[in-house]
Every structure is written in structure tokens, then in C-alpha cells.
A and B are shown apart, each in its own frame.
Chain A
Amino acid sequence: MRKSVFALAAALMMGATGAQAAGDKIVPAEQEWSWTGYFGKFDKASAQRGLQVYQEVCSTCHGLKRVAYRNLMDLGYTEDQVKAFAAEYEVMDGPDDEGEMFFRAAIPADKFVSPFANDNAARASNGGALPPDLSLIVKARATGYGSIPLNFAKWMQGNGTASGADYIYALLTGYEEDDETANAWLKERWDHAEETGHLTKHQLEEGFKEHVTAEGKYFNRYFPGHNIGMAPPIDDDYVEYEDGTEATKEQIARDIATFLAWASEPELEQRKEMGWKVILFLVFLLGLTIAAKRRLWKNVKK
């Protein structure tokens, strides 16, 4: 009996990782983030650097349309800094007295200006692929929800949607230069899966298939299907940080992921701060109700 339970559990786990080895979805490695846990807060300095990366690199293709310039004050910028930052962008306004639409400098109340007028314009400029808006990307790419048992422990530790940031980090650092290195990496994974018995019979019969990166695409370890339309966007020293932090590829990826996590869940700090207060209050109330009930029920015979 006991043995069969173990066998079943083992089979279940193999099923889970076996599907992973099959290729499509590769779970990114977990990173340490400042905003996980019950008292987590965003690393403001990192998020500010992330804003710089967004502005200098990502914003040529990706929008951030749900975030307003005024929201940047949450990251520690002053109102004047935000005003100056917004004024670098132009938004369409109008119609004016003549009935014409016109452009004016953005103000803090405006949302981040998107690089393209609409999705079709974005597709046309990017070889048919649509660069997604990044406002909610960390929430939308988080793994492990939608499947209740998966990552249960992680969620109970207050990790929330941090897996979405793990994905952003992994994606930005997960490019392979060419098909040769890509296939070497894929083969290594395959061999490992084969050794540990994670391949299905069908997969073993078919054997390892060489990956050929599609025309105009790039190989990324973590992108589903591996063919990504985005050219490797960052590299070491791709930006020069104003605060003097060394801009390694990993550092840039961390900073942008932090910034985007904030953009996805700007309420996170307030939420966690309120959370422990509410929970403490409720624990106190629970104690009171238990005491009141005990006293009342003392005289009731069982």
C-alpha cells in the first residue's frame, strides 16, 4: 500500500517534469526579489534604473499605457522631475478652435505615450509580431496560478506574481547566439531528461530534433517555442546608469524586471502594509470571540 502511494506520487511528479522536458515551457529560475514575502517593498533605486532602461531601450517598441507619469512619484521622483520627464513626450490633444487635432507636451496626468498609434502599426514595424504593452506583463506572465496545486508553497510565502519577474529576467538573459549554441543547450537538456527517465516513449522513438530558428526570429531559451521576434535587447553596458551602478546584462535585466513589477502592481506595498495590520486585528478579534464563547458555554452540559 505504502509503496504504491510512493509509486503514484513519483509518477505524478514525473508527469509534471516530463511535460516540461518535452520542450515548450521552461520554468525560469527563481530570483531573489525585494518585494516578495509578507513585508516586501520595491527596491526604489533598482526601479528607477529600470525606468531608465525602459525609456532608453524598451520604449522604442513597447508601450506602458496603463501607467501615468504622475505614478512615477511612487518611485521617489519629485513633482518637478516628473514634469520634466513627461514634457519629453508628445501627446495628441484637441480638437482646437479650428477643429484640428494637435500635439502638445505631455503632463504628469497623462499616461505613458505608446510608441505606436495602434496594434497594426506596431505589427507592421516589427515584422508581423506585436510587441506587447508592458503595463501588466509581470502579472500576465506569472506562472503557477491557474493551477492551484502548483507553486502552492511559493504563494503562501507571499511571493505573488514574482514568477512573472523571473520570466522577464530569464527571457532577457536567455538568448543564444546561433543555432549551434542553441542546439547544444537543447541537447544537454534532452540528455538530462533522458538520463533521469523524463522522456515519453513517443519522444524517445522520435529522437532529438535539431531546432532551426525561423527566418527573422531569434532563439530564446524561455520563450514558448523558442522563436522570438525581439532581437536581444540588452547587453553589458548597454545603458549608462546615472547612479553609477555597473550595467551588466544581469543587472539591467533585474532593474527592468523590478520596474515592470512595480508597473504591474503599484498597490503592492500598500497592500502588504495593510495586510499585516488587518491580520493582527483579526487575530485579536478571534481571541476575543473565543474567550466570549468559552465563558458563555461553560454552563452548557455536553
Chain B
Amino acid sequence: MMSGPAPEFKNPVVRWIDVRLPVFSYLHHEYRAFPVPKNLNYFWSFGGMATMCLIVMIVTGIVLSMQYTPHVDYAFDSVERIMRDVNYGWLLRYIHMNGASMFFIVVYIHIFRGLYYGSYKAPREILWILGVVILLLMMGTAFMGYVLPWGQMSFWGATVITNLFSALPIVGDPIVTLLWGGFSVDNPTLNRFFSLHYLLPFVIFGVVILHIIAMHIAGSNNPKGIDPKGPQDTVMFYPYMTAKDTIALVAFILFWAFFVFYAPNYMGHPDNYIPAEPLVTPAHIVPEWYFLPYYAILRAFTPDFPLYWPMAWIGIDAKLAGVLGMFGSLILVALLPWLDTSKVKSCKYRPVYKWFMLLFVADVIVLGYCGGKPAEGWYVALSQVATFWYFFHLLVLTPVIGWFERPKPLPASISEPVMAAK
């Protein structure tokens, strides 16, 4: 983008290195003299917050892994030893444990910002898809991390989720056996989940770097959804945006600290303080809150659900339909750049879609609520209505509204007020 001329480094050591390996020039162009739209609001700080989450999770995770034992006989005890005997072990574990929830809160808001301000539209499609890839990797990592303490919810969550793969025709059962490394969730499963839980964050880190590179090609979107027309529309990333992002980061750490110190188990489940017992099922298995909307979609596909009927017609059973629906719900999000036919990015200038957009967010919250409730009575009906709306919104409303909606007039530039204003 429009970065300034190559910097002259005063420090001779820096200069010497930079000629041979231009890391300092790179950092200068991408993080100092990098122009960003000056009208970014605090929603644009959530990317930086998510990056910080990832770093904190990796750092605390590495330290915790030095005390943790990935074996079915010792895993629970080693976690309790961290809580009781290791110096500041409780602090590190509570940061890590709540960090997973914090990471998802931040990323979900980050995604909401992208949806509302149309950040997924050309030329940022790959940026958006990389974001969905990061979300999927995060989900895998979080799921496997939740198994490690080897409590009742760890074990039964792992059992329920790995069993989803058995829905696949023919290859289903061999795949599940391969995932388990045995005939049920057991020690080999715990071991490989630990290995992957350690690996995946670094994969996420790699994709995050790609995500940032892609973002720096087109530059940040902004609340008006129009491109900056010149220097009058932008400020330098450093120090302007970094000063703003720092406020958001500190406020976020404050939020996180509140949970760590005063409600550390609020987002967990009490049953996970009972060691895993393969012969006793908890009365009500619920996944972590950040999986609840997908869990509701998974369970919505029952024989009496109209969305399932065409799938039943081609011979897909309800269980597989639920799995397909769940993964499909995420794949459709990745395809959003092509599902949304409107040329206008920001919902600020989309009087109709704006409300459907917010309704969609409400719909996902309803799905999350249903996912946390037992699959009985009117919760099933509600989750089916919400699941239907989820797909209807993405597959029908989004393209159709794009065609028919008359957007409000866009401002000429970021600095100028709307031309058509009276």
C-alpha cells in the first residue's frame, strides 16, 4: 500500500542487519509507517486483542505443559497438582482456561465486525477465508485442550464429538478407531490430543501471519466501507492506532482478569472436577459455550425437520445430516463474499440488510441458548426454527437483499460528510 520511503536507521547495528536481512524495513513498513483509515472504531481493535490472546495462550500453555502429565491415570491429578502445589499454578491454569473463552469472545466479536461492515468483500476474500480457517483451527485446539484435564466433561465431550465422525458412510467407523487409537476414548486418545493441542496453536500462528499479510495488501476496511482517497483519510499505524489499540488491550485484560480472579469457573462445567469415569455418563453433556450454536444445529436435524427432508430423500440419515449441517454452517460463512451480492460494504449504508444482519446475530445467540439446553420439548422446535433461519439468511436473504436493496448514498471520502445530506 501507500507506505513511506525506505527508512534511514540511525543505529549502525540495525542498519548492518537490515541490509542483509530487511526485517527492520519490513516492520517499519507494515507496523510503523503503515497508513490505516483514521475513522476506525474500537471494533477494529479486536484483531490485536485476538493476537494477544494467542500469544498469552501459547506462553501459559508452554509453562503448564511442563507440569502436566498426558496419561489417563495421572492427567487429572497433575492438573490438581498445578492448582494446589505448583507456584502460581492456579493463576496460570485459570488464565489459560478462561483464555480459551476470552479468545472466542474476541474472535466472535471480530467476526461480527467483519460481517457488519462488509470486511469480507473484494478485495478481502482470501483474508476472510483465512479467518474462517483460523476459527476452525481454534475450535479443534480448544476441543482437544478441554479433554486434557480428563474430567467427566472432558471424557464425554471427547466421546460425543469423535463419535460424530462415525456418521460418515463406510469410512466412518475405521476413522473413529483411528482417531481413538483403540476401541474407545482412552490413553492413546489423550496422548495424541495433547500432542495436537501443543502443535495446532503454532499452526494458528502461521495462518494468523498469512491473515495479517493479506490484510496489509488491501489495508484495513473501515466503518464507512469506502477506500481512503489519500493521506487526509489515514493516520499512521504507529503511534495513532497502537495508542488506540493499547486502550482496548488493557480494557480487555481487565475483563479477563475479572474472570480469572473472581469467577474462574464460571464458564466451565462442575462435572469437570470429577475425574473421568468411562462407565458413568453425566446426566447432561454440554459442550463449552463457544460450541453451543453448532451443537444446536447438529441436534436440529431430526426426521421431522423440513430442512432434513431433501437429505433423507437421497438417503442421508439424520445423524450424518446433522454433521453436514454443522460443518456446512461454517463453510457457508467462508463463502459469504460470493453469497452477498451487494456492492456496498458497510451496513451503515444498507438500510434493509442491516436489520437482517442483526437478526442473524440474534439467531446465532438463540442457537447458542438452545445448544445449552436438553434436546427436548420446545427447545428442539426453537433450535429448528433458528437453524432454518441461519441457512435461509445466508443462502436466500443475503443474495436477494443484495439485489433489491437501495443503499443510502455513500460519502465521497472518509474525511467528508455525506454529500446528499441536506
A–B interface present (Cβ within 8 A): yes
Residues of A within 8 A of B (CB): 15, 38, 66, 71, 132, 135-136, 139-143, 145-149, 155-156, 158, 160-161, 164, 224, 264, 266-267, 270-272, 274-276, 278-279, 282-283, 285-286, 289-290, 292-293, 296-297, 300-302
**Could you tell me the distance in whole angstroms from the C-beta of B226 to the nearest C-beta in chain A?**
16
A146, B261: Cβ atoms closer than 8 Å: no
A276 to B240, CA, bound (A): 31
A38 to B258, CA, bound (A): 10
B84, A267: Cβ atoms closer than 8 Å: yes
Residues of A within 8 A of B246 (CB): 289, 292-293
Which 6 residue pairs are nearest across A and B when measured between Cβ atoms? A275-B261, A146-B269, A140-B273, A267-B90, A293-B243, A139-B273
- 18 further contact pairs, Cβ within 8 A, besides A146-B268, A149-B369, A286-B254: A66-B84, A136-B80, A141-B270, A142-B270, A145-B266, A145-B268, A146-B271, A147-B372, A148-B372, A160-B262, A264-B273, A271-B261, A276-B261, A279-B261, A289-B243, A290-B247, A297-B244, A302-B39
**Could you tell me the distance in whole angstroms from the C-beta of B282 to the nearest C-beta in chain A?**
10
**A66-B80, A297-B240, A300-B235 as given contacts; A274 in contact with B265, CB under 8 Å:** no
**Could you tell me the distance in whole angstroms from the C-beta of B359 to the nearest C-beta in chain A?**
15
B188 beta carbon closer than 8 Å to chain A: no
A158, B372: Cβ atoms closer than 8 Å: no
B244, A160: Cβ atoms closer than 8 Å: no
B48 beta carbon closer than 8 Å to chain A: no
Residues of B within 8 A of A147 (CB): 286, 372
A272 to B262, CA, bound (A): 7
**A272-B261, A289-B246 as given contacts; A140 in contact with B239, CB under 8 Å:** no
A161, B372: Cβ atoms closer than 8 Å: no
Residues of B within 8 A of A224 (CB): 283
Residues of A within 8 A of B260 (CB): 275
A141 to B152, CA, bound (A): 13
A155, B261: Cβ atoms closer than 8 Å: no
Interface of chain A, main secondary structure: helix
Instruction: For B369, give the chain A residue with the smallest CB separation.
Output: A149
Enumerate B201-252 residues with CB–CB distance to A below 8 Å: 232, 235, 239-240, 243-244, 246-247, 250-251
Enumerate B83-111 residues with CB–CB distance to A below 8 Å: 83-84, 90-91, 94
B289 beta carbon closer than 8 Å to chain A: yes
Residues of A within 8 A of B91 (CB): 271, 274
B247, A145: Cβ atoms closer than 8 Å: no
Residues of B within 8 A of A136 (CB): 80, 273-274
Residues of B within 8 A of A143 (CB): 270
A140, B270: Cβ atoms closer than 8 Å: yes
A267 to B271, CA, bound (A): 20
- Pick the contact of B250: A15, A66, A286 (CB < 8 A): A286
B181 beta carbon closer than 8 Å to chain A: no
B38 beta carbon closer than 8 Å to chain A: yes
A160, B265: Cβ atoms closer than 8 Å: yes
A301 to B270, CA, bound (A): 52
- Pick the contact of B261: A148, A278, A283 (CB < 8 A): A278
B286, A146: Cβ atoms closer than 8 Å: yes
B331 beta carbon closer than 8 Å to chain A: no
A276 to B261, CA, bound (A): 8
**A146-B269, A155-B266, A301-B415 as given contacts; A289 in contact with B261, CB under 8 Å:** no
A264 to B38, CA, bound (A): 51
26 contacts between A and B (CB under 8 A): A66-B77, A136-B80, A139-B270, A140-B273, A142-B265, A145-B269, A145-B270, A146-B372, A147-B372, A155-B266, A156-B263, A160-B262, A160-B265, A267-B83, A272-B261, A272-B262, A275-B260, A275-B262, A279-B254, A282-B257, A286-B247, A293-B246, A296-B240, A297-B243, A300-B235, A302-B39
A32 to B268, CA, bound (A): 24
A132 to B415, CA, bound (A): 67
A292, B243: Cβ atoms closer than 8 Å: yes
**Could you tell me the distance in whole angstroms from the C-beta of A276 to the nearest C-beta in chain B?**
8
Residues of A within 8 A of B415 (CB): 301
A155 to B264, CA, bound (A): 9
A148, B267: Cβ atoms closer than 8 Å: yes
A296 to B244, CA, bound (A): 10
A272 to B378, CA, bound (A): 41
Residues of B within 8 A of A276 (CB): 261
**A136-B274, A146-B270, A297-B243 as given contacts; A289 in contact with B262, CB under 8 Å:** no
**A147-B372, A274-B91, A293-B247 as given contacts; A140 in contact with B261, CB under 8 Å:** no
Instruction: For A301, give the chain B residue with the smallest CB separation.
Output: B415
Instruction: For B372, give the chain A residue with the smallest CB separation.
Output: A147
Residues of A within 8 A of B232 (CB): 301
Instruction: For B268, give the chain A residue with the smallest CB separation.
Output: A145
- Pick the contact of A285: B90, B250, B274, B286 (CB < 8 A): B250
B175 beta carbon closer than 8 Å to chain A: no
Residues of B within 8 A of A289 (CB): 243, 246-247, 250
**Could you tell me the distance in whole angstroms from the C-beta of A291 to the nearest C-beta in chain B?**
10
A161 to B77, CA, bound (A): 20
Instruction: For A150, give the chain B residue with the smallest CB separation.
Output: B372
**A140-B274, A146-B270, A148-B372 as given contacts; A271 in contact with B264, CB under 8 Å:** yes
A148 to B266, CA, bound (A): 7
Residues of A within 8 A of B80 (CB): 66, 135-136
- Pick the contact of B265: A139, A148, A282 (CB < 8 A): A139
A267 to B39, CA, bound (A): 45
B14 beta carbon closer than 8 Å to chain A: no
Instruction: For A224, give the chain B residue with the smallest CB separation.
Output: B283
B253 beta carbon closer than 8 Å to chain A: yes
A286 to B248, CA, bound (A): 9
Residues of A within 8 A of B84 (CB): 66, 71, 266-267
A135 to B369, CA, bound (A): 32
**Could you tell me the distance in whole angstroms from the C-beta of B279 to the nearest C-beta in chain A?**
11
- Pick the contact of B251: A155, A161, A286, A301 (CB < 8 A): A286
A196 to B339, CA, bound (A): 50
B90, A271: Cβ atoms closer than 8 Å: yes
A298 to B261, CA, bound (A): 36
Residues of B within 8 A of A164 (CB): 270
A212 to B261, CA, bound (A): 45
Residues of A within 8 A of B38 (CB): 300
A149 to B369, CA, bound (A): 9
B270, A279: Cβ atoms closer than 8 Å: no
Most chain B Cβ neighbours within 10 Å, of A140, A141, A142, A146: A146
